[in-house]
Structure 1
Amino acid sequence: MAGAAIVAAGAFTTFGGLLLVPLHEQRGWSRASIGAAFAVSMVLYGVTAPFAAALMDRLGVRRVVVGALLLAGGGAAGSVVAGSPAQWTAAWGLGVGLGTGAASTALAASVAERAGAGRRGLVAGLLTAAGVAGQFVFLPVLSRVVEEYGWQVAAWGLAGTAVLVAVCALVALREVRAPAGVREAGAGAAPGAAGAPGVVGRALRVLAASTRRPAFWLLAGVFAVCGASTNGLLWNHFTPAAHDHGIPATSASALLAVVGVCNVAGTVAAGRLTDRVDARRVLAACLGLRALTLVALPLLWSPSVGVPLVAFAVLFGLLDVARVPPTLALCRVHFGSDGVVVFGWVNAAHQLGAGTMAHLGGLTRDLTGSYDPVWVGAGALCAGAAVLAVVVRGDREER
């Protein structure tokens, strides 16, 4: 059931790429203004995660997940009736950003933390892979619905799916108590409304303490680049870029589905490796290889989907979300029982990078008429992040 909640929340993140062209063509909004709404959603997705992780320790996973899914569904429904870029940003940016932020990364990290030593990397990899695979399984279906019936119908479908999964989570999701050290770190108030100030206080105290350590800034910087090159760029601008080269949206969505399927193997493998070897090496390898794929992409475009683009989708998919298990492990190594909340803040940096790239990608396309500079620039950032990943001191502690 946790995996289903992650999948449902994750479907919203890939849907954005299908909306850019229809909104631009039907309503005359600029790509930059549409991208700004995606940016708000992604930043809130990240900022919400540390508070959601602390709230799950206090109120339990089920309550937080149900509320988050209902909020995301409301945001999707509100986006249908939005009549201006500002209203669109309020509905999609606020509703979907806050809802998915509480039901995706924070949920996977919290459940993985409860799995125990020796299994955390694998559990994090499995849940992350399930969410991302689900995103891209949804994508061809949503693409077909957008093409045949319009994006509004697809948005209503997402809203209904979120409500359905919320009801199922309320009935079927079983609470698992947090480890003793985590409960003690967040203790102090009884569950319920009175616990909200304690949750906010804990998240902010963890942030204040972690920012005094270089490891936090290195991990946050690396993850910001990860977000810029995946959520911000690939998930929002791959389909419009394919459209520029004459590739139909359904074919572009099929390529992204390949990315999602390959995410399963790549993320699970990264989780297994993280339980056994230095997490820095796993993270650096993922980023270095990702840099090569992004720099090569402008050379691979063609009016039809051929072997080069399929190869890109396979390789990028193996590397896409594989960075999550090693990053979560490094947060645990350096920050102990607060590692899940720290990971939430690191993920906020991830989404800040994603939001920035979502906006800059559309702006670059508006100004230059091409996405090619963005792919090459993102590849260069990934190469630099691979170096930073190695710099993070790797203590050989229990993972």
Structure 2
Amino acid sequence: MEVPRVENTDNQKKAGMHYGWVVVAITFATLLISAGIRSMPSILMLPFEEEFGWSRGGISSVISIGIFLYGLTGPFSAALLQKFGIRRVTVLSLAVLAGSLALTPLMTSLWQFEILWGLVSGLATGMMANVLGVTVANNWFVKRKGVVVGLLTASAATGQLLFLPAMAKISIEAGWRTSIYAAVGVILLVLVCVAIWMRNHPYEVGQSPYGMDEVVKPAKFEGNIMLAPLHALRTGLKNKTFWLLAGTFFFCGFSTNGLIGTHLIPACGDFGIPVVTAAGVLALMGVFDLIGTTFSGWLTDRFDSRKLLFWYYGLRGLSLLFLPYALEAGPTMLVIFSVFYGLDWIATVPPTVRLATNEFGKESSGMIFGWIVVAHQIGASAATYSAGLMREVLGSYTVPFLTAGLLCFFASIMALRISKASAAIQLPQH
């Protein structure tokens, strides 16, 4: 479809800071808070065991379903964002998320936790996952797109980690219910910011996408919002690059939020490390993730994405093999692990997005990447449940950590199997 264009305006020429950066800042905060909420069950696991008598495996199964739905929502989220706009979809998702959290302190049974966190929270946060960041980057940026994708991806992973220490402290000092209400307050604050300042496309403020000279009218979404993602999936399933990207992302999810994001705090508890201290380790990891993933976006604009993925997965595998030793050795070794692992936490996203965009085109990349994220969350879901189950059976997390490390080495080899043609397209012209 030919995209309508209009001539550049005087306002565009006189404009100072591009409004796209305001949208990026709001999206950054939204993804950070959404992901932080998604990670809260890791600090609730032990209190729920004590108060309700629920098993580690039972709680992990709820988190596992939430993680899966968080990913499954992605492709349909991409279609909804194109159809109804970023602001409207995000406001609705934040409102639903706040409602599900507000009801959580009233629950008394595991099935209620399943509905509120496995179903409702999983779907609501899924609407504000990495696909939102990719949509913002595609709508607002031509240049610096890799950096923007890296920054917004980092916000999601960093939110999971930076949010935890404060919530853990509130939970210990005032109870887990108070931490839930505090999270609801933060969600409502972000919702107001999105409602007031978020914009769907640069055309709405009379600007061109960053790096383009002409103001471009957004193309109207064509097709059914339910069928379009399924059509994108059918296209992807016929493509070798899609299978390789989805396969590597399965192992990415298995080795990050499904395993470390969910089980590192309980694993620290097995060695007598306090919850607040363990949450602090994750927070430090989040700081370095912000640095590493943003830098990964910069690298993605300049180097072969296949080779970047090879190094990212390989180095992550080494860090996971080191983790059981770090837990036994104490806080100093854990800090070393958190720095090393944090730099690589989700640095895989910018090169994966770039390869998907090159292979399938800008208009389809959001839904295609959404399906790749589904594979990521299936891996995360599998790790969440299997690690909790193995902890019950074996009495430790050593086997899940070592297994994830070895799977990362396999993912690094898969990355090199992606065609050179797909990687060559993404290299910028200098």
Q: Distance in 2 between matches of 1:345 and 1:182?
A: 23
Q: Deviations over 1:101-150 (max 9, x none)?
A: 11121211101112444421111011122333333222110010111111
Equivalences for 1:87-106 in 2 at 5 Å? 87-106=112-131
- Which residue in 1 is equivalent to 2:425? 397
Structure 2-normalised TM-score?
Answer: 0.87
- The counterpart of 1:165, out of the listed 190, 212, 219, is 190
| Equivalence map 1:110-125=2 (5 Å) | 110-125=135-150
Whether 1:19 aligns to 2:44 is yes
Q: Higher mean Cα deviation, 71-80 or 347-356?
A: 71-80
Find out whether 1:212 has 2:220 as its counterpart.
no
**Runs of 4+ in structure 1 displaced over 3 angstroms?**
115-118, 177-184
Deviations 1:229-276 (A, max 9, x none): 111100110000000001000110110001100011100111011111
Paired residue for 1:194? none
Map of 1:1-399 to 2, 5 A cutoff? 1-176=26-201, 183=219, 186-188=221-223, 198-302=224-328, 304-306=330-332, 308-336=333-361, 337-394=363-420, 395=422, 396-398=424-426
Distance 1:237 1:231 in 2: 9
| Distance verdict in 2 for CA 1:294–1:181, change over 3 Å | farther
Paired with 1:249 and 1:206, the residues of 2 have a C-alpha distance of: 43
**Corresponding residue number in structure 2 for 1:193:** none
Once the two structures are TM-superposed, the CA of residue 12 in structure 1 deviates from its matched residue by: 1.2
Which consecutive residues of structure 1, in runs of 5 or more, have no partner in the other structure?
189-197
Contact 2:305 2:355 in 1 (8 A): yes
Say if 1:76 and 1:95, in contact at 8 Å, map to a contact too.
no
Task: Give deviations 1:289-347, integer Å, cap 9, x for gaps.
Answer: 000000111111147412x1111000100000101101111110111121111001100
SS of the counterpart of 1:103?
A: coil
Q: Secondary structure at the match of 1:174?
A: coil
- 1:14 deviation in Å? 2.1
Counterpart CA distance in 1 for 2:140 and 2:416 is 27
**Quick one: distance in 1 between partners of 2:54 and 2:280?**
26
Aligned residues: 388
User: For structure 2, which runs of at least 5 residues remain unmatched after alignment?
Assistant: 1-25, 204-208, 210-215
Give the match's secondary structure for 1:183: coil
Task: Give aligned-pair identity as a percent.
Answer: 36
- Letter of the 1:187 counterpart: E
Amino acid at match of 1:44: L
In the TM superposition, residue 74 of structure 1 has moved relative to its aligned partner by: 1.9
Who wins on radius of gyration, i.e. which is larger? 2
- Report the Cα offset of residue 160 of structure 1: 2.4
- Residue pair 2:34, 2:159 contacting (<8 A) in 1 also: no
TM-score (normalizing by structure 1): 0.93
Root mean square deviation of aligned Cα: 1.7
Q: CA–CA distance in 2 between the matches of 1:6 and 1:359?
A: 24
Q: In structure 2, what is the Cα distance between the partners aligned to 1:387 and 1:303?
A: 31
Three-state SS of the structure 1 residue aligned to 2:256 is helix
Equivalent residue letter for 1:153: T
